[in-house]
Amino acid sequence: MRHWKKSIVSFAFASTLLLTGCINGESPEKEIFETLEDVVSLEESFEAQQEPLLKLEKEEQEIYEEIMSLGMKEFEQIVKLSEEGLALIEQRQEAMEIEKESIESSREKFEEVKTSIELLEDEELKTEAQSLYQLMEKRYEAYMILFNQYKESIELDKELYTLFQKEDLTLEQLQLQISKINEMYDKIKESNQTFNEYTEQYNEAKFTFYKNAGLDVEYNN
């Protein structure tokens, strides 16, 4: 019997930076700083969903393992547990939607930075800012790929728990569904890694841009 190898998604997050020096007036550099840090704030609800999602994933895994330990003579208990699994999936789906809304708000705010970038007088700094912008766009695109894969995996999980409610379920049907789930979670693991890499690159590039722009910043830990 192949086991369901559900992979917990672990996100890297955009870092928060504080402006420690004083700048007179509202320069394009300062406008960029303020916009980018507002973007981080808008992702707070995205970050807040990670712990609840992790908890739901673990609870669901425990239910799956309990179901797999039961024989068909305990079919009523299997059905009861599968209903609990489906309820947990619904909660995961709700948390994912909150997460996605946070990212979409972040992306909408991020678009505002383009205007300030165009106002930069230093051409090298402008080129650096444009590269930073493209990096963040890749991060958003990577998230959407990950979100859509995770959404698809949820449908596969639902199908699995629905299968558990069939008294004539065959081992072949079960193994086929678990294989589909495992394949999807392999894709999710890869996409999660890509998203985290873009996030880490963005954090580093953002800090470097601030320094090159003459902004006195420090990490907000």
Q: Which residue has better confidence, 104 or 50?
A: 104
And the tokens for 174? 């079960």
| Per-residue confidence (pLDDT) for residue 1, from 0 to 100 | 38
The two most distant CA atoms of the chain are separated, in Å, by 76
In angstroms, the CA 98 to CA 149 distance is 16
Answer yes or no: are the C-beta atoms of 198 and 209 closer than 8 Å. Answer: no
Q: What stretches of 70-170 show up as alpha helix (H) in DSSP?
A: 75-110, 113-118, 123-163
Which of the residue ranges 17-21, 77-81, 143-147, 167-171 would you say has the lowest mean pLDDT?
A: 17-21
What percent of the chain has pLDDT above 70?
92
Task: For the chain, give the number of residues.
Answer: 221
Q: Which residue has better confidence, 2 or 175?
A: 175
| Per-residue confidence (pLDDT) for residue 22, from 0 to 100 | 53
pLDDT for 111-166, tens place per residue? Answer: 999 999 999 999 999 999 999 999 999 999 999 999 999 999 999 999 999 999 99
Total Cβ atoms within 10 A of residue 172: 8
Q: Which residue has better confidence, 95 or 21?
A: 95
What structural domains and CATH numbers belong to the chain?
25-213 (1.20.120.570)
pLDDT for 75-126, tens place per residue? Answer: 999 999 999 999 999 999 999 999 999 999 999 999 999 999 999 999 999 9
For the cut 80, the answer to whether the pLDDT of residue 10 exceeds it is no
Q: Which residue has better confidence, 221 or 145?
A: 145
Work out the burial of residue 71: count CB atoms within 10 Å of its CB; fewer than 13 is exposed, 13-18 middle, 19 or more buried.
exposed
List b or e across 182-220, with b for residues whose CB sees 16 or more CB atoms inside 10 angstroms.
bebbebbbebbebbbebbebbbebbbebbeebebebeee
Across the range 60-80, mean pLDDT stands at: 91
